[in-house]
Chains A and B, each alone.
Chain A
Amino acid sequence: MPNNDRLLSIIRGRCAEAVIRTDDYRGDATVVIRPERLLEIARVLRDDRELAFDLLLDVTCVDYLGQQPRFELVYHFYSTRHRHRLRLKARVPESDPTIDSLVPLWVGANWLERETYDMYGICFRGHPDLRRIYLYEEFEGHPLRKDYPKEKRQPLIGPGSKGTYKPRPPEIPHAHRVEGMLGAELMRVQLGPSHPATHGTVRIVLDLDGETIVNADVEIGYLHRGFEKECESGFYYQAIPYTDRLNYSSAILCNVGYCMAVEKLFGVEVPLRGQFVRVIGGEISRIADHLLCIGATALELNAFTPFLYALEARELAWDLINALCGARVTSNFVRIGGVSADLPEGFAELCQQNFKRILELVADAEGMLLENPVFRARMEGVSIMSPERLIAYGVTGPLLRAAGVDLDLRRAEPYLIYDQLDFDVPLGSQGDNLDRFLVRLTELRQSIRIVEQCLRLIPPGPVDVDDPALRLPPKGRVFNRMEDMINQFKLVTEGPKPPPGEVYFAIESANGELGYYLVSDGTGKPYKCRARTPSFSNTQPLAEMVRGRLLADIVPTFDMINMIGGECDR
């Protein structure tokens, strides 16, 4: 863990009069600042050599209804150079919920601020394009505000609407024309939401000059279902199934991240065997996720056969998850303080058997793709983006590693038992689509290696923490002992109650940094439960990556970004 005291004292020294307060809770360094000084402090955070916070991970807001000032903006930063984190907070009043935009410093703040505007109604001064991002423009109110009732319906569109809603033609902000087009017109084409290639359910509005993309605008939100609002209205443990549906192609990783964030809030650690089981489940999920991404890329390039090989391999990975927890897609496997079940009998043999076949299938698919000049020509040199630009967009995960940035949280901030495991972090050199493809392919094999090691090294012992305030007691004890019965009753009806406070915890999910920011007010329900999902940040640079390229280049680029609708739209 990096030295937070030193970090905080540096920041206090650099801009003393702007800082209201600093604290260090559960290893998270926090700085509370005056809102009018945000831009200035952010610039120091980014440009100071000792701070060097180049990655703006997340922008969100907490609504402290009834307090003055009401809204607290929360920024999370990470430094890829020094590998330290920082949380920046600033309060703005309800009467004037305005703060400076960070887009001039981090281009990736664009969508994050639009989301905050959409959900909380915070206005960002100097934002180039402050539109709603998930909801439609005619939506009234801001749903994540605490005074917006969860049950409220706005039947402007969808079932129950009176047909008064007229969708407007799409507009592209800052669209520009091409010089010397000899009277030809740009053709406005909309890819998605109902389009074979947009499997993440997204709309890409394009202006085409023939086949060349002149302008592009990516519109997300088709799968928005109010993840945060739902989580805030249930107990901590009731949010676990919702996390399944964030990245539904690697659900266990989302479970692990959430449960570990809650455990950080409680300050408990899962027994060693439980940690091993989590790593095993998580890595199998990662295998399934990468297989889907690789297969889908092949499919969209019309290589149908490798796609089916990859999906057959993914079926085998899902069979393992099925053996682990009885479900395939939405596994709901991890629990706060442990996992739902220990490894089943004969799991190691099943793994060995399935991994062997998975590797065969992957080798077949790889051969068909990488040795095919057409596939290479479609991937090589397409949609290159520099590492600096990717970081400015807040991109993490395989996409960033393909550009040569060595940032894998399993290595950078080892959680669970990753520091005891031997695995490689593959890096690309050029950052084109082929590198992205290769990074995922290598990671998949490394994940198999990790699971094999875990199965060898896993110690005996319990998988759950033995804490009646956190984990349900075994059924046998519930039926026979009064105390355990009471504990079960209390846990189910009131939920586990963490101490008041706030934490941010991130894991390396299949697509990059998956972080959860939890605010506890001491009750059984989270006051704020925010998921910083990699797909959201990774999808943002798509428009810039494809601008000036050909229409067909959208397809592999979008696939290598691997936007998962559930995760992006929450």
Chain B
Amino acid sequence: MEQSISVLVTFLLVGTLVAIMVSIGWLLGPRTETPAKGEAFECGNPPSGSAWGRFPVKFYMTAIIFIIFDVEVVFLYPWAVLFDRLGWFGFVEMLIFLTVLGVGLLYVWQKGALEWD
């Protein structure tokens, strides 16, 4: 209960702070709109349309590989906390788990998913 309160209080206070900052800027700052000011910055060129296009698949690949390994790390935390109780059994179990993922890493490495140039 006390734990949740401290989290809640912190969230509320920091949230308020951030909200106040945004609104102060909105209240204090001047507002003059000119056509040129509203343009997207393209190094001094007239804007050439929306930037929201389809993006190369390479970046999604990075994201997917990340998720796999991040989930792996999440599994490691409970294991790490209880490690002294699990002993050799836990170590071997986790080693098998890590080996599977290590092979996965080697595979994506070999496949060139980790090449970016």
Tell me whether A and B are bound partners: yes
Instruction: Name the contact of A209 in the complex, choosing from B43, B45, B56 (C-beta under 8 A).
Output: B56
The reply to whether A190 and B56 contact each other, CB–CB distance below 8 Å, is no
Q: Establish whether residues A167 and B46, one from each chain, have CB atoms under 8 Å apart when the complex forms.
A: yes
Give the dominant DSSP class at A's interface: loop
* Residues of A contacting B57 in the complex (Cβ-Cβ under 8 angstroms): 181-182, 184
- Of the candidates B43, B48, B51, B59, which one forms a contact with A195 in the assembled complex, judged by CB atoms under 8 Å apart? B43
B24-43, CB under 8 A of A: which get 1 and which 0? 00000000000000000011
With A209-B56, A210-B58: A188-B116 Cβ-Cβ less than 8 Å: no
* Chain A residues whose C-beta falls within 8 Å of the C-beta of B55 in the assembled complex: 184, 187, 210
Q: Which residues of A contact B54 (CB under 8 A)?
A: 183-185
Q: How far is the CA of A495 from the CA of B44 in the complex (A)?
A: 43
| In the complex, chain B residues whose CB is within 8 Å of the CB of A182 | 56-57
Judge if B117 is at the interface, Cβ distance under 8 Å: yes
* Interface size of B as a range: 10 to 19
Q: Let me know if B59 and A210 touch, CB within 8 A.
A: yes
Set of chain B residues within 8 Å of A184, measured between Cβ atoms: 54-57
How many angstroms between the C-alpha atoms of A184 and B45 in the bound complex?
24
Which chain A residues border B46 with CB–CB below 8 Å? 167
A194 within 8 A of B: yes
Considering the complex, give the chain A residue whose CB is closest to the CB of B55: A184
For the complex, is B53 an interface residue (Cβ under 8 Å from A)? Answer: yes
In the complex, A191 has a CB within 8 A of chain B: yes
Residues of A within 8 A of B (CB): 167, 169-170, 181-185, 187-188, 190-195, 198, 203, 209-212, 549-550
CA distance A147 to B109 in the complex (A): 66
Partner of A187, one of B53, B58, B59, B116: B53
Option from A203, A211, A212 in Cβ contact (under 8 Å) with B43: A203
- A192 and B44 form a contact (CB under 8 A): yes
> Which residue of chain A lies nearest to B51 when distances are taken between CB atoms in the complex?
A187
Please give, as numbers and ranges, the residues of chain B lying within 8 Å of A193 by CB-CB distance.
Answer: 43-45
8 nearest A-B pairs in the assembled complex, by CB-CB distance: A194-B44, A210-B56, A195-B43, A184-B56, A185-B53, A182-B57, A184-B54, A190-B45
Query: Is the Cβ of A181 less than 8 Å from the Cβ of B45?
Result: no
Given A190-B48, A211-B116, residue A181 in contact with residue B56 (CB < 8 A): yes
CB-CB < 8 A to B117: which residues of A? 212, 549-550
- Min CB gap B61→A, angstroms: 11
Q: How many angstroms between the C-alpha atoms of A192 and B41 in the bound complex?
A: 11
Q: Which residues of B contact A203 (CB under 8 A)?
A: 43, 45
Within 8 A of A (CB), among B99-117: 116-117
Known: A170-B45, A187-B51. 11 other contacts (CB 8 A): A167-B46, A170-B48, A182-B56, A183-B54, A184-B57, A187-B53, A192-B44, A198-B43, A203-B45, A210-B56, A211-B116
17 contacts between A and B (CB under 8 A): A170-B45, A181-B57, A182-B57, A183-B54, A185-B53, A187-B55, A190-B43, A190-B45, A190-B48, A192-B43, A194-B43, A195-B43, A198-B43, A210-B56, A211-B116, A550-B116, A550-B117
Within 8 A of A (CB), among B41-99: 42-46, 48, 51, 53-59
Q: Which residues of B contact A550 (CB under 8 A)?
A: 116-117
Q: Whose C-beta in chain B lies nearest to the C-beta of A196?
A: B43
In the complex the two chains form, is B116's CB within 8 Å of A191's CB? no
| A182 nearest CB across to chain B (Å) | 5
List residues of chain A with CB within 8 A of the CB of B48: 169-170, 188, 190
CA A194 – CA B43 in complex, angstroms?
5
CA gap between A193 and B45 in the complex, in Å: 8
Q: Which residue of A lies closest to B46 (CB)?
A: A167
User: Smallest CB-CB separation from B59: which chain A residue?
Assistant: A210
Quote the shortest CB–CB distance from B112 to chain A (angstroms): 13
Residues from chain A with a CB closer than 8 A to the CB of B43 are 190-195, 198, 203
Chain B residue numbers with a CB within 8 Å of A198 are 43
**Residues of chain B with a CB closer than 8 A to A212's CB:** 117
Which residues does chain B contribute within 8 Å of A211, judged by CB atoms?
A: 116
- Complex CA distance for A193 and B46, rounded to whole angstroms: 12
The smallest beta-carbon distance between B39 and chain A, in angstroms, is 12
Using CB atoms, name the residue of chain A closest to B49.
Answer: A169
Question: Which B residue's beta carbon lies closest to that of A211?
Answer: B116
Which residues from chain A contact B116 at a C-beta distance below 8 Å?
A: 211, 550
Taken together as a complex, chains A and B put the C-alpha atoms of A184 and B42 apart, in Å, by 21
> In the complex, what's the smallest C-beta–C-beta distance from B44 to chain A, in angstroms?
3
Query: Which residue of chain B lies nearest to A183 when distances are taken between CB atoms in the complex?
Result: B54
A192–B94 CA distance with the chains assembled, in angstroms? 53
- B110 CB → nearest A CB, Å: 19
Residue interface bits B6-18, CB-to-A below 8 A is 1, else 0: 0000000000000
